[in-house]
């Protein structure tokens, strides 16, 4: 009777396929299609999702017989999240990240660094001048956001305790008032080769 007067509480979620070798997948929430035929390294737009317990079911793309992975996740009201499909000891797992949303803060932008490469060493993200932003980030570690001035940046990703990996990510724009995530995906010693995804958080594509 009073439902029409209650505030509508919803949340948003996007999905990132970061599981090497898993093939294309379909993802359902509580039996309803959420995202279909997602290939490795693809990240979706944000979808509305009901708060509370949601059973996430992952199927091989184009099938609906037996899920290859199922997990129930809790979605908090009025939150924005990224759900990463990852590998843990060769088994699919879900990693839920709480995303920042745009602010009205002037001359501020935010960056976090997420290591989703299952066979990589600890990773460090730094600026060309040697300033370290994130040090020794392990696989599936959830870092906080680092406050930076808006602008165009060049970043260096390297193995924390070795010289085997050194990768430059150039011409990356941090936007005023927005949160951003730099994901490292792929494999250190195999294919698909290690690479990066840079995404704005909490905003529509």
Domain boundaries, position 151: 100-204
Burial class (CB in 10 A: 0-12, 13-18, 19+), 101: middle
Q: Structurally, how many domains does the chain consist of? A: 2
CB proximity list for 182: less than 8 A, separation 6 or greater: 111, 112, 113, 114, 125, 155, 169, 172, 196, 197, 198
The domain boundary, picked from 99, 132, 167, lies at 99
What is residue 163's predicted lDDT score, i.e. its pLDDT? 66
- pLDDT tens for the chain, 205 residues long, are 444 544 557 899 999 999 999 999 999 999 999 999 999 999 999 999 999 999 999 999 999 999 999 999 999 999 999 999 999 988 999 999 999 999 887 799 999 999 999 999 999 999 999 999 999 999 999 999 999 999 999 999 999 887 667 889 999 999 999 999 999 999 988 999 999 999 999 998 7
Indicate whether 95 and 106 sit together in one domain.
Answer: no
The domain boundary, picked from 65, 99, 133, lies at 99
Reduced to 3 states, what is the DSSP secondary structure of residue 193? strand
CATH number for position 184:
2.60.40
């Amino acid at each position: 009777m009073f439902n029409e007067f209650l505030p509508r509480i919803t949340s948003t979620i996007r999905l990132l396929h970061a599981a090497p070798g898993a093939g294309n997948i379909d993802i359902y929430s509580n039996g309803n299609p959420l995202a279909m035929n997602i290939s490795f390294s693809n990240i979706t737009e944000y979808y509305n999702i009901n708060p509370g317990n949601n059973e996430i079911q992952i199927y091989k793309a184009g099938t609906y017989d037996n899920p290859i992975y199922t997990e129930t996740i809790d979605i908090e009201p009025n939150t924005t999240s990224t759900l990463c499909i990852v590998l843990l000891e060769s088994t699919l797992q879900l990693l839920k990240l709480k995303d920042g949303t745009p602010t009205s803060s002037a001359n501020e932008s935010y960056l976090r660094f997420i290591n989703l490469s299952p066979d990589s060493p600890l990773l460090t993200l730094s600026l060309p001048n040697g300033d370290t932003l994130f040090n020794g980030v392990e696989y599936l570690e959830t870092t906080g956001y680092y406050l930076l001035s808006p602008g165009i940046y060049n970043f260096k990703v390297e193995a924390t305790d070795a010289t085997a990996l050194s990768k430059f990510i150039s011409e990356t724009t941090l936007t005023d008032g927005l949160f951003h995530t730099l994901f490292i995906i792929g494999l250190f010693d195999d294919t698909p080769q290690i690479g990066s995804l840079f995404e704005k958080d909490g905003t529509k594509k």
